[in-house]
Amino acid sequence: MIARGLRLGGRYLTLTGLPVQVAALRDGGMLLRSLASGNEFEAPGGYELRPMGQGTASLPLKAAAAGREPDKANGIARPKASNKPLAPLIDALLLAGNMTMAGMVRELRRKASAACRGRDVAANVRARLYWLRKRGCRVEISDQARMRAVAALH
């Protein structure tokens, strides 16, 4: 049973004073998102929530958690990619040569696992190959499909 008067995206306080936002309403309960930490958790349908104006929050609101849209809660949660660029690592592997595409992807995931989260690493390598060719480098591919970038002499 879902508590009456709750609306999707509405902000409420739990009994302990935790500020939450209703992310999804389901048959057996609801999905709540903490506005203090951004974490999501399930709650039973009869879970008691108070309107935000009644009482004080026990934790301050987190700006990033408070600004999220409620419809994103039902989508697939993808890990966030870090801001570290993969290009320098890809360039180093291509200039060193003697690696296949699968070998480069494996090595990149090993060297920069945090930077690879949520990214299509093979597409990044292909894009880097395209960029190098566009800038005048020559990409040599051996019989065993091992790639090497060679700087073109001008």
Same-domain check for residues 35 and 62? yes
Position 70 scores a pLDDT of 46
Task: Tell me the DSSP string of the chain.
Answer: -PPTT--TT-EEE-TT--EEEEEEE-SSEEEEEETTT--EEEEETT---EETTSS--SSPPPHHHHT--GGGGGS---PPPPS--SHHHHHHHHHH--B-HHHHHHHHHHH-HHHHTTS-HHHHHHHHHHHHHHTT-EEEE-TT--EEEEPPP-
What value does the mean pLDDT take over residues 10-34?
86
Position 135 scores a pLDDT of 84
Final residue of a domain: which of 32, 51, 74? 74
Position 2 scores a pLDDT of 42
pLDDT digits (tens, 9 = 90+) for 66-116: 445 544 544 555 555 556 778 888 888 888 888 899 999 999 888 888 888
Same-domain check for residues 24 and 69? yes
Residue 22, domain extent: 11-74
Same-domain check for residues 101 and 146? yes
What is the number of structural domains in the chain? 2
Same-domain check for residues 54 and 102? no
- Residue 17 domain-assigned? yes
Same-domain check for residues 96 and 44? no
- Residue 1 domain-assigned? no
Average pLDDT, the chain: 78
Same-domain check for residues 66 and 93? no
pTM surpassing 0.75? no
Same-domain check for residues 67 and 106? no
Position 76 scores a pLDDT of 53
- Residue 137 domain-assigned? yes
- Residue 91 domain-assigned? yes
What value does the mean pLDDT take over residues 121-139?
88
What value does the mean pLDDT take over residues 7-23?
86
The residue among 61 and 30 whose pLDDT is bigger is 30
- Residue 22 domain-assigned? yes
